[in-house]
Amino acid sequence: MVYINKLAEHVGQEVTLKGWLYNKRSSGKLQFLMLRDGTGLVQCVVFKGNVSDEIFESAKKLTQESSVEITGTVKKDERQVGGHEIDVKELTVISIAEEYPITPKEHGIEFLIDHRHLWLRSRKQWAIMRIRHRIVKAIRDFFDDRGFVLFDPPIITPNACEGTSTLFETPYFDLGTAYLTQSGQLYAEAGAMALSKVYTFGPTFRAEKSKTRRHLTEFWMVEPEMAFYNLDDNMDLAEEFVEYIVQTILAERKEELEILERDTTNLEKVKRPFPRVSYTDAVEILKKKNHAFEWGNDFGGADETVISEEFDRPVMIHRYPSEVKAFYMKRDPQNDKVALAVDMIAPEGYGEIIGGSQREDDLNKLLERIKEHNLPQTFFEWYLDLRRYGSVPHSGFGLGLERTVSWICGLDHLREAIPFPRMIYRNTP
């Protein structure tokens, strides 16, 4: 058996392909079967003069998404999808599909998500999943090549990491309530003290009440954490990382970006250095553009878009008011009102793709923060130990995988960036 994406190695030869009928047209003695095998598409030509009557008839009976095995000769043909065509000799039906719900006509988005398990076979979804996979590989390669150790945090946790408002609860035997993790960061900090540079990469959960195109309740996050890194080191790493991901996809997933009709002009500009502006300067940008905003609030999606329009590549906004940020962030020694935090905002209205910070490394200050945020100190004793036994300056960030896929693919909504999206109003299929 040969895969469609390897046909170039078999020009002039007879091959056997296995796949599904993507679509079909016919004219008299000819039937043109578009075959899909998961690696690509190829047109298979059934000519009445070349095959038995039986085979010609079974080709006629093929419905959309029926599974078949086809044997034929590979011809090079630049005008065809994928650059090849198959001259069919043999055809075996594996299974005739019932009337397929997704047809080439336009379907509403709710209908498509209801049929997500089938929608994934469509060309655009195929391209998105292949880009997602390549982004995941780029993420792993980036950290593996730079001496980071993959460090898997638990998913079931006894307490909040990013604030208590968005926790999914689950009963946990005799121990009461446990929570699904919102972020592996606190555990990654323990990892960094053991292994210097680590990264976590897995699903995280937030009971987000927001129905925006930027929020899922289950999403994947990669979180590097580095001992002895300050905020500037953290930003240097974040921009190198995002440049690497985007440039890798431009080089390695050209065909998929074309299928998605992604205009890559802006992606090509994603090169270091990225602009860095303080939160305070970002507020000034908003004011200059007559966009109402008060120092001290957190930026919403609309504010982020207005700020990002000032720049031609991702922008890093640093030193947010400590009030709006998480308890673990270190305050700026120069100005106690702001935290050593950084968010990276993607261009073209895609919003925050990275959130990170330098961490509070002083035991007493961290204790104060835990009290201020009304967090149960007993559950944080192990985390406080990291400050009791050889505390060091350290930093890290988290990049949302679906936000990144959505931006690079130019999608309207995060729901297409993950195989089976989970949102406030949907947990099926």
Residues that bind Mg ion (CB under 5 A): 355
Q: Single out the residue of 59, 91, 221, 342 in contact with ligand 4AD (rule: CB under 6 A).
A: 221
Residue appearing with tokens 């945090």: 153
β-strands 149-150, 331-332: how paired? Answer: unpaired
Q: Count the residues in the chain.
A: 429
Q: Single out the residue of 354, 370, 405, 423 in contact with ligand 4AD (rule: CB under 6 A).
A: 354
Closest CA to 360 of 395, 325, 385, 388: 395
**Cα(315)–Cα(219) distance, rounded to whole angstroms?**
23
**Cα(100)–Cα(107) distance, rounded to whole angstroms?**
13
> 309 Cβ partners below 8 Å, 6+ apart?
none
| Total residues in contact with ligand 4AD, by rule CB under 6 A | 24
**What are 401's two structure tokens?**
């995988």
**233-292 positions binding ligand 4AD, by CB under 6 A:** none
Which CB, 88 or 186, lies closer to ligand 4AD?
A: 186
**What are 304's two structure tokens?**
């982020």
CB atoms within 10 A of CB 343: 24
Q: Could you say whether residue 162 binds ligand 4AD (CB under 6 A)? A: yes
Q: Could you say whether residue 353 binds ligand 4AD (CB under 6 A)? A: yes
Which CB, 84 or 214, lies closer to ligand 4AD?
A: 214
Q: Single out the residue of 69, 87, 114, 208 in contact with ligand 4AD (rule: CB under 6 A).
A: 208
- Least Å distance between CB 414 and ligand 4AD? 6
Q: Could you say whether residue 206 binds ligand 4AD (CB under 6 A)? A: yes
> 76 Cβ partners below 8 Å, 6+ apart?
11, 83, 84
Residue appearing with tokens 């998404």: 65
Nearest residue to Mg ion by CB is 355
Q: Which does 14 bind (CB under 5 to 8 A by kind): Mg ion, ligand 4AD, none?
A: none
Output b/e per residue, 161-184; b: 16+ Cβ within 10 A.
bbeeebbeeeeeeeeeebbbbbbb
Which CB, 308 or 357, lies closer to ligand 4AD?
A: 357
Q: Single out the residue of 19, 153, 347, 400 in contact with ligand 4AD (rule: CB under 6 A).
A: 400
Which CB, 20 or 220, lies closer to ligand 4AD?
A: 220
Q: Single out the residue of 37, 256, 360, 402 in contact with ligand 4AD (rule: CB under 6 A).
A: 402
**Cα(296)–Cα(283) distance, rounded to whole angstroms?**
9
Q: Which does 65 bind (CB under 5 to 8 A by kind): ligand 4AD, Mg ion, none?
A: none
Q: Which stretch binds ligand 4AD (CB under 6 A): 70-78, 113-121, 266-274, 353-361?
A: 353-361
Helix (H, G, I), strand (E, B) or coil at 30: strand
Q: Could you say whether residue 325 binds ligand 4AD (CB under 6 A)? A: no
Backbone φ and ψ for 152, nearest 5 degrees, come out as -90, 115
Q: Which stretch binds ligand 4AD (CB under 6 A): 60-68, 74-82, 272-280, 346-354?
A: 346-354
Inter-CA distances, 36 with 42, 119, 330, Å: 7, 14, 53
Enumerate binding residues for ligand 4AD (CB under 6 A).
161-162, 183, 185, 206, 208, 215-216, 219, 221, 223, 352-357, 396-398, 400, 402-403, 414
